[in-house]
Each structure stands twice: as C-alpha cells, then as structure tokens.
A and B are shown apart, each in its own frame.
Chain A
Amino acid sequence: MNLMEGTDVWTLAVIIGLAGVTVLTRSLFFFSSEEWSLPDWAQRGLQYAPIAAMAAVVLPEVLMQQGQFLHTWMDARWMGAAVGAAVYFWRRDVLLTIVAGMLAYLPLHLVMGW
C-alpha cells in the first residue's frame, strides 16, 4: 500500500486548518489570563449552534438522494437513521445507535438494493 497515493496539497491544507479549528474552539478561553466572560446573548445563542450545525449536516444526508428530497420511502438510509435514533432515545448509547442502525441499514442496502 502506498501511503501517499491520492494525497493532495489542498486536502492536507484543509486538514491542518481543521486542526487549527479544533485548537481554536477547545483552547480559546485558556489562552488569555485575564478575568472576563461572554456577553449573555452570545452565550444563549451559542447553545443552539451545535445542534443546528449537526442537523444541517446530517439530515440532508439522510433525507435526500442525488440532491432531491426522497420521493420513495424505500430508502435504506433514512430507515437506518430512524432505527438508530429510536435506539438512542431508548438506551442513550451512541455505540448501540451505530450497531442497530447498521443492522437495519445493511440488509436493506445489500439484499434489497435500496
């Protein structure tokens, strides 16, 4: 296996940028030694950003096919995701979510071809 095969500079630069984003978001408030805190409105707004970002990334992946909203219910992705979500709310365990979602998705995808 050639480790470098298919590696391009743009992708590596984006990866380094994403590492910078991790440092920025996880360590930002550890940098300054001053006493200070966020304004209230920013703090309130911040609590909605993570779930909004997650939903905006995941749900189009699950509910759309080739840029179109699903026009058939026979799609393995939304079914797998729905089973995964149901199991999450039942057991509160991300591992079980993945296992159950894959157990629902794989037969539909591999056997039924959905």
Chain B
Amino acid sequence: MFFKAENYRHPAFMEAVRDLAPQVPGVAAWGLMTGVAMVNSGLSVFEAIAMTLFVYAGSSQLAALPLIVAGAPAWVILATGFCVNLRFMVFSLHLRKYLMHLPRLERMLLGYLTADMSYAMFTRRFENPSDDPSDQRAQAASLAGNTFLVWTSWIVASLLGIFLANIIPTSWGLGFAGTLCLVGILCSLASTRMRIFAAGVAAATAIAAYHLPLKLNIVLAIGVAVILSMSLERFGKTRKGQAA
C-alpha cells in the first residue's frame, strides 16, 4: 500500500506517479463532474461524500444515481452496480498472478483501488507477472504509486465537485456531464464488433422493456445481450469450422 515505506520509497512508486501524471486532468474532470452529478441528482452532501469515499467507482455511482432518485428497490440498484462493475472481476482475475505474493488484506486493498485507468496503465507497463521477488516488489510498488495518484486526483476533484454543485443551478443541466462520462466509457468498451452488437441489443431491450417495474429492464437487457452475443459467437465459430 502507498502508506508502506517499502512501497513509497521504492523507485517504481515515483516512476508510476510520473507515468500517470498526464492522465490526472481527465480523471479529475470526471471526478469533478461526478461530484456535481451526485448532488444535482438529489443526494445530500453527506451522502455524496460517503459515496465518494467508500464506493470509489465512477461508473457504478453514476449508474446508481437515477435509480436511487427513482426510489428503485435496493437489490436492483446493487445488481445494476454489480453488472456495471463486472469488468473489475476480469481485472482482478488478470492481476491475481501479479499480486498473490502479498498478504491477503494488502492485495485486496490494492485490488479495491484498481479502477479502469490504473488497470490499463499497470498492465501496459508490466505485460507479464514475474516469479522474481525483487520484480514482484517493484510491481507492487508501481501499482501502489499508480493507484495513489489516481485515488487522490479522483477524491479531491469529487469533493470539490460536491461543494461547487451547490453554487451551480441544476437548471443549467450540468448533470448531463455525468451521462457524457458514461457515453465515453461506453465508447471505450466498444472495441470489437461483437461488443457493439451486445451494446445494440442491450439498448434496444432496455428501451423496449422500459416500463417493466423495478428498473428490471436493465437486468433483462444485460441478460438478453450476453446470451445473444454468446450464441452468435458460437454460431460464427461453428460456421468457420464447417468452412475449414
């Protein structure tokens, strides 16, 4: 962790901080807008601060806001957050080999702090895990430096956004910036034709089933999109197999 001397005194810590520095404005702008969006959507300042400090997951925070405001049942909100966060499970599966040498609590804390930006930058810097203890220490120190900078930028910007939100009238529609953040993440996930297909199916299902109670249209849309995409993928493979 970043408060451990063996991490912050390691040269890999500062190297990661320098590597991540160009990403700070983007992280901060997104954090600021998330702070504004939380208060503008109707959360109290205390609730928004609690959400910033504990949830620490911009996309699931923004996805949860309209549901909280609409008074959706808690399990629907948590299920939506879980689905939006599913990509993190893939990250933690991937990073397992890098961090398994650390004590359980420490690797879980590092995992908790590793969001999209940190994951992308860390795996770009270290393409493979290592069996060598000194490499392993350097990698842990690097991820500690990386998450330290991203966490600090995000938290400071979000808190600033929470306090600025009170002088920015909601009628200006600045909360739309939160939707635009999600649009940006949606686009960044659209990396293959199959994923674009999945997004199209999910959107069509969510709109068609909009009037289902409990915001069930979102859970239904995810289920339909995953099943159709997997089937199409398998169908494509079978066709290719027959052609060969």
**A residues at B contact (CB < 8 Å):** 1, 3-8, 10-19, 21-31, 33, 37-38, 41, 43-64, 67, 69, 76-77, 80-81, 84-85, 88-89, 92-95, 97-99, 101-102, 105-106, 109-110
Chain B positions within 8 Å of A69 at CB level: 207
Chain B positions within 8 Å of A54 at CB level: 59, 63, 84, 182, 185-186, 189, 199
Given contacts A56-B202, A81-B179, list 16 more A-B pairs with CB under 8 A: A7-B47, A16-B54, A17-B74, A18-B55, A21-B82, A26-B91, A26-B92, A44-B230, A47-B90, A51-B189, A55-B203, A56-B205, A58-B179, A61-B179, A88-B187, A93-B26
Closest chain B residue to A44, Cβ basis = B230
Question: Contacts A12-B47, A27-B112, A49-B83 given: A94-B188 contact, CB under 8 Å?
Answer: yes
- B64 interface residue, CB < 8 Å from A? yes
Q: B56, A22: Cβ atoms under 8 Å?
A: yes
State the Cβ distance, A100 to closest chain B Cβ, in Å: 9
How many inter-chain residue pairs (CB < 8 Å) link A and B?
Answer: 290
Chain A positions within 8 Å of B221 at CB level: 52, 55-56
**B residues at A contact (CB < 8 Å):** 25-26, 29-30, 33, 42-47, 49-51, 54-57, 59-61, 63-64, 66, 68, 74, 77-78, 80-93, 95-96, 99-100, 104, 107-115, 166, 172-174, 176-177, 179-190, 194-195, 198-203, 205-207, 210-211, 217-218, 221-222, 225-226, 229-230, 233
B85 partner, pick from A14, A21, A60, A80, beta carbons under 8 A: A21
- Can you spell out 20 A-B residue pairs with CB atoms less than 8 angstroms apart? A14-B64, A14-B74, A17-B78, A22-B60, A25-B85, A26-B88, A37-B93, A43-B90, A51-B202, A52-B202, A57-B63, A63-B203, A64-B210, A85-B183, A88-B184, A89-B187, A94-B30, A94-B181, A98-B177, A102-B180
Cα distance A62–B176 when bound, in Å? 10
Closest chain B residue to A62, Cβ basis = B179
Question: Contacts A88-B188, A101-B180 given: A48-B194 contact, CB under 8 Å?
Answer: yes
